[in-house]
Amino acid sequence: MRAVILISGRGSNMQALLEAGLPVEFAAVISNRPDAPGLAVARGHGVPTAVVDHTQHPDRERYDAALAAEIDRHAPDLVCLAGFMRVLTPGFVQRYERRMLNIHPALLPAFPGLNTHARALAAGVRLHGCSVHFVTPEVDAGPIVVQAAVPVLDDDTPERLAARVLAQEHRIYPLAVRWFAEGRLTWDAQGRVRLIGAAAAPRDCPALIWPDG
C-alpha cells in the first residue's frame, strides 16, 4: 500500500508512522510550509518530500487543487494528515473520501479545533486523549477509528497534558494506518468504522478504544 503524509511543522506523528515498521510504502511527505522541520526528518528516512506553499495561491480552492495534483502524482491509497494545519475544502475531502486519516489531540467529539488541551483543563474533564478519524468536510467530525485516553491530573498544565497525549498519538496513529493497510477497517450501515478481527491493546497505552467488529 502506498501512502502520502501531509505536515505543516515538526512532523512528530509523521516520524512515528515512518518508524513503526508498517506494511506501507510512504511515497512522499508534503508540506504547506517550506520551513517545516519535518521535511528534513522525512528526507532523513529516505522519503521524497515536496512543498505546496499555501501563500503562493490566492484562495483555498486553488491551493487545494495544486495540493491534490501533487498528491495524485504519487498515486497513494491513503493520505495521512499529521499536523497539517489547513482547513480543506469539501471538494478536496470528497476526492479522498474514506482514504484520508487525521490524528486529533482530543477525545472527539469533544474539543474539535485548536487549543484542545487548555480547553480540556478549563472544562474540568478527568479524561482527555486523542483520536484517529477519517476526514470529512466538517472539521474533526469524521468517523472515529481509534482513541486513547489519559487521566487529567490536578497539577496539569496544557503543556504537561499535551506531552502525555502526544505519546499516545504516536501509538494509535500507526495502529490505525496498519489496520487500513491490512484491510481490517470496514463501515456499517450508519457510516461508522468497524474493525475486523480482534486487537490487543499495547501495554504502554493506558486506555485504548477501538471500533468493535
- Residue 133 a catalytic site member: no
Q: Show the CA angle centred on residue 114, arms to residues 111 and 115, nearest 5°.
A: 85
Contact 106, 112 (CB under 8 A): yes
Closest CA to 175 of 117, 126, 131, 116: 131
Cα 204 to chain centroid distance, Å, stands at: 20
First and final C-alpha spacing in the chain:
23
- Strand 2-7 and strand 25-31: the pairing is parallel
Q: Rounded to whole angstroms, how far apart are CA atoms 78 and 96?
A: 8
Paired residues of 6 in beta bridges: 30, 81
Residues in the chain: 213
Which helix (H) or strand (E) segment holds residue 103: the answer is: strand 100-104
Q: Rounded to whole angstroms, how far apart are CA atoms 1 and 180?
A: 9
Of the listed 45, 57, 74, 104, which one is catalytic?
Answer: 104
Q: Rounded to whole angstroms, how far apart are CA atoms 172 and 202?
A: 9
List active site positions.
104
